[in-house]
Structure 1
């Protein structure tokens, strides 16, 4: 097809082996259309066999499509043009739905922004709806490992398409071992030299939410479409998925459904990290999407819309749970206390529903040996991993409940409130909630990260990744606190300088004092379903 400004965009078109007309399912993506997001979805031939014309298109400047690729810059107009073109394909009935995850999810939102009449329903999965807060940064901290890895991948594809083998090989090597040891770790020299046009430089140069980020954010205020929202508990863009769902569900009369599985970004299977969540965790989303599009593109009545619109996988019980709306759980408070040895002994720090008057904990962050990332939503690989070794480090504070005397069901967004004192101009906080099994093994369930200034209002509030889990009799809940999670996020040098200019040599040792023990002191705010209780 040709865009309105004359650029040729290429697509593969898959057709049912039957007489039409048929509705069209469209995916627009930047990775080479032959992949067709088969890392998480069934192949387009499967979707075509369900009675759809399936179009997989290379976006501008990617694959074999002409033009210059610029991150998100042309997706509104090109998306509108493509929807209108797809609706007029031979055998099309004029109705178009869109599906896809990650960048392919964002192209749905940009196309929807243009409101082409032929676009009837979409299924955005794992989208960083607000690219600043949902994709590039988390609570002011740069998402280094994921962002840099993606920037190198796209730059390598640019070099490959240009036939520049030398640059491609350099970037290929950098992707296999991220260049994190340059003078400015967040701005590696290989990317600056080989891909000076990379979007990642812009992301570094805009460390706060300004007009640059507003220009990248899909404008959906007047959009009213049925949307099937798909996320994963260990996906880095879940914040964006939930922001989009909440916004649309609050104002749209069109159906909105939310499905969240126990998955990272890739793949969507029963095992993520080191934990097998059972056969029910295998992705049902291909079948769910077909039921969604059967209803909105073919007018067939399915039972999908007869069921509650929020469907979450509950880790621990390992089954799907449905809610009539975003759950409104009770908030239970668990106070931190210890004898002052929570950094040395994993059996010293306690979580208790009653505040106790006891000492503070001192945490020493050494940038020479920062607390490492392991799993969660922002690291590669993502997921749930055994973390006893990390919790045993002296730069990690741990606080644990006693063995549970009743089940504990958590659904929503946990948070911590911490009273922190430091002389450093800036510091980071990483909070991880984990399950402690009776045999002493520890597996992370959810975590959060935040960049803080010394003069920030106390207590510091840190919202963790949304989650849904069940702890059973005899298990315990643990909070782990550190001042780093590297390389998921860059090491905070303590100088107050943003990641774009933070030099490795400037990194300082940071002393943090966590105050606890009073009713207004440091605590965990846990969203617990009303039927749950803790012993």
Structure 2
């Protein structure tokens, strides 16, 4: 490894704004490729919550540049979420490519906002930018970042808005605002007279994106204008996509990977670990996934950059491009492509007491017939095609005591937790398989299709898939959420977070349904009014009836794969 030296330098954007950066260089003769990270949290952090310090990459023969985006850290200008990242990103790539000692070859890395800055810069197609390693990103900001199934991701969005507003207060030297926001971050203000329209954010960050996001509750032109997906259709680069099974933005990582894989002329590599948004280590939630779950990303990224920036044959191109961590066995599995055409149907059945008795609701397997190309294209099962006797279960959602969020990908803290106490609530319906007669391996997309009816104009549907262990403990595997804004006589399809899990022989699977998952998502008041327009006291009791059987066959699709191989 090489010795490293550090310097601070500045560049000017095309409109004359100064952006500051720390530059880490190998203390050696010669020219080196450049790794660029652009981020809004103060460049000294350098995303070391999940990556090695920049000195580690520099010691392996790279010039590493960590830049404060416009209006953050010590960079000049006004910070506006995602607004300047395409032009500023292009200017930054061109600047670092021309640094003394640079080969002119640039790669970018980083997660979350730092992943987004990569996509925006790539949209401009600067010639020096040769490869990306985007981790945990929103490809379509509406569906992948801000909303899920039409429901606002409240806990994540509010927490992030408060964090960015606090950083603005710090940069402006406003101690009162900073203290208020810092306090709010430790105990999110979730209960106000008009829920979700957070007053401390409105007061101390009146121009924040948060309130714009609430106002655009549907996928309109607003989202099309700011989402990187729309700008990247002409771009093509080798990309190493990185995600986590319990990351809120896994939808975006997979969305981006699938889109580029379908059209790219370059290698698209995917890795999904058993991690939440941060940190990336072996213990997530209440489960220790073992030594193999330790963060391998730095070594893998160095190998990736050696291949595409230094031209070294690392053998990477001879390996399967998809690497998924299988929870349960706690080993990495390799696939030639994202698992598709591998879904098995399980049907809901019940004595009608699934909200009160664990032995009432069951999941009954039936052999799959024809397999569409993707789970999104599965046609609804027609009435009369299931052999399950028809029936229904009823749950009553009480806004005074909504079903609380616990782990998963949208709540904080994220990950798997023991949830049997929640499944015992009378406002949660549970459907459980018999103990498995053999190990079951799942890898890929998961969805449920539920026939139901609510007595109010709007309601939510939360679906959680869990593992039931022989001792009776229950751990969530994956979940999804849907907001329904009208009465309808057709099944509701809820896309759950993709997963990869081994369910051991003797264990069982359980599907839990409820009408809330608060505060991961806002509590639906049941009125059908626009988000944030109802008072807290206006929230309605909602009675939800779930149907099953030959007349209305509610079901779940599970992505079953073999025990070995891709």
Query: One fold, TM greater than 0.5?
Result: yes
Q: TM-score, normalised by structure 2?
A: 0.93
**Superposition pairs of residues 39-438 of structure 1, within 5 angstroms:** 39-218=49-228, 219-353=231-365, 355-438=387-470
Report how far residue 500 of structure 1 moved. Answer: 2.7
Counterpart Cα distance in 2 of 1:503 and 1:255: 51
1:462-477 matched pairs, under 5 angstroms: 462-477=494-509
Residue range with higher mean Cα deviation, 345-354 or 475-484: 345-354
Structure 2 distance, partners of 1:387, 1:345, is: 15
Deviates more, 1:14-23 or 1:256-265: 14-23
Q: Tell me by how many angstroms 1:20 deviates.
A: 2.1
> Which deviations, in whole Å up to 9, do the C-alpha atoms of 1:372-404 show, x marking residues without a partner?
000000001100000011111111111100110
Q: Residues 453 and 487 of structure 2 are in contact (CA less than 8 Å); yes or no, is this contact kept in structure 1? A: no
Q: 1:271 Cα deviation (Å)?
A: 0.7
**Per-residue displacement from partner, 1:457-488 (whole Å, max 9, x unpaired)?**
51111110011111011010000000000000
Q: CA deviation at 1:439?
A: 0.5
SS in 2 for 1:414: strand
Count of aligned pairs? 532
Partners of 2:317 and 2:410 in 1: how far apart? 33
The 10-residue stretch of structure 1 (400-409 or 326-335) with the greater mean CA deviation from structure 2: 326-335
1:55-109, Cα deviation, whole Å (9 max, x unpaired):
0000000000000000000000000000000001111111100000000000000
Q: Secondary structure at the match of 1:466?
A: strand
CA distance in 2, matches of 1:154, 1:225: 31
Equivalent in 519, 529, 549 of residue 487 of structure 1: 519
Q: Distance in 2 between matches of 1:516 and 1:503?
A: 35
2:39 to 4, 9, 29: 29
- Compute the displacement of 1:347 (Å): 2.2
1:5 lines up with 2:15 in the alignment: yes
Shift of 1:335: 1.1
CA RMSD of the aligned region, Å?
1.1
Stretches of structure 1 lacking an aligned partner (at least 5 in a row) = none
For 1:479 and 1:145, the matched residues in 2 are separated by: 23
1:193 CA drift (Å):
1.2
Shift of the alpha carbon at 1:454? 3.5
Distance (whole Å) between structure 2 residues aligned to residue 319 and residue 166 of structure 1: 49
| d(CA) in 1 for partners of 2:488, 2:71 | 44
Contact 1:60/1:69, CA 8 A, preserved across alignment: yes
SS in 2 for 1:175: helix
Deviation at 1:519, TM superposition (A): 6.8
| TM-score, scaled relative to structure 1 | 0.98
SS of 2:494 mapped into structure 1: strand
Runs of 4+ in structure 1 deviating by more than 4 angstroms, as ranges, are none
For residue 382 of structure 2, what is the aligned residue in structure 1? none
SS in 2 for 1:20: coil
1:99–1:122 Cα contact (<8 Å) kept: yes
Residue from 440, 451, 472 that aligns with 2:472:
440
